[in-house]
Amino acid sequence: MLDVHIRSKQFSSSEGAELSVLKHLGFSCADRSFTCIVGPSGCGKTTTLRCILGLDTEYDGNIAFNNSMHSEACESKVAAVFQEPRLLPWRTVEQNVRLALNHVDNKMLDGLFAELGLSEHREFYPGELSLGLARRVSLARAFAVDPTVLILDEPFVSLDDDTAARLRRLLIKVWSARACTALMVTHNLTEAIELADRILFFSTSPSRVEHEYDIPVPRDERDEAVIQSIRAEVQAFVASGRTSEG
């Protein structure tokens, strides 16, 4: 579904020096899979997502969706959820979600709002919402377009633990009911283990995929004890220095 091959990505500093951010970065995401990217701050995780979304095209490499090169046709089926909800403050919750739609399916919207616990907040304005509710609206806006690829850039950052946990459960519930490939950046290893089928560990900048870890336990069997056990196994795996090639 998604193939990323970035040979190099550079930025120019204010002094004119070239800063290498990504180098020989390559990975693929299978259809309907959920992949999390984990890595040190500043290593290029968000830059990678921006390249995938077509927000940054200044790189050497190629990105393909369903074996087709990056194009407007592909982009129309890619949705994104960012760290900030990015809602228009002068529009209601429902109006913000409808902005993403070419054709409005009221039955679909009713179901989506119900799944995300937003049915009673459709006429609220962003300023009347908690941060947790605003993040739900951003999820609703992304899923409303029926994407084939969903990109998430730390969507639960800065939330308290309980709110973040509730939103993770909602995300998985809504994602599981749809034919969608998810790629998410997170600093939280426990969050990645709870959500993902596979974790990609990025190296320090210039970043590449340093390790890959496939989570063997079905998602619905990952209670707190299992997650902590997997976390210890993942940390040992990464510490061993094993690469994605084994």
User: 239 falls in which pLDDT band (50, 70, 90)?
Assistant: confident
Residue 9: closest CA among 60, 63, 62, 70:
60
Residues 159 and 224 in one domain: yes
User: 69 falls in which pLDDT band (50, 70, 90)?
Assistant: low
- In a domain, residue 153? The reply is yes
Residues 153 and 170 in one domain: yes
- In a domain, residue 244? The reply is no
Q: Read off φ and ψ for residue 192, nearest 5 degrees.
A: -60, -40
202 neighbors 24 (Cβ within 8 angstroms): no
Distance of CA 55 to the CA centre of its chain: 15
pLDDT at residue 70, rounded to an integer:
53
Average pLDDT over residues 113-131: 95
Residue 24's alpha-carbon distances to 4, 38, 46, in angstroms, are 10, 17, 16
Residues 180 and 229 in one domain: yes
Q: Which amino acid is at 239?
A: A
Pick from 146, 173, 197: which residue ends a domain? 146
Residues 182 and 231 in one domain: yes
Question: In the chain, which residue ranges form alpha helices assigned H by DSSP?
Answer: 45-53, 72-75, 93-98, 106-115, 131-144, 161-176, 189-195, 224-239
pLDDT at residue 116, rounded to an integer:
94
- Domains in the chain, number: 2
Which of the residue ranges 96-110, 128-142, 152-166, 174-188 would you say has the lowest mean pLDDT? 96-110
Q: How far apart are the first and last CA of the chain?
A: 23
pLDDT at residue 73, rounded to an integer:
42
What is the longest distance spanned by two Cα atoms in the chain?
A: 55
pLDDT at residue 104, rounded to an integer:
74
Average pLDDT over residues 148-159: 93
- Looking up residue 33, the CATH number of its domain turns out to be 3.40.50.300
DSSP bridge pairs for 94: none
206 neighbors 20 (Cβ within 8 angstroms): yes
The C-alpha angle 41, 45, 51, rounded to 5 degrees, equals 145
Residues 120 and 136 in one domain: yes
Tokens of 99: 């902005």
User: 72 falls in which pLDDT band (50, 70, 90)?
Assistant: very low
Mean pLDDT, the chain, whole residue set: 90
201 neighbors 210 (Cβ within 8 angstroms): yes
**CA distance linking residue 202 with residue 158, whole number of Å:** 22
User: 75 falls in which pLDDT band (50, 70, 90)?
Assistant: very low
Average pLDDT over residues 79-84: 93
Using only C-alpha atoms, the chain has a radius of gyration, in whole angstroms, of 18
Domain of 42 in residue numbering reads as: 2-77+148-239
pLDDT at residue 144, rounded to an integer:
92
Residues 105 and 209 in one domain: no
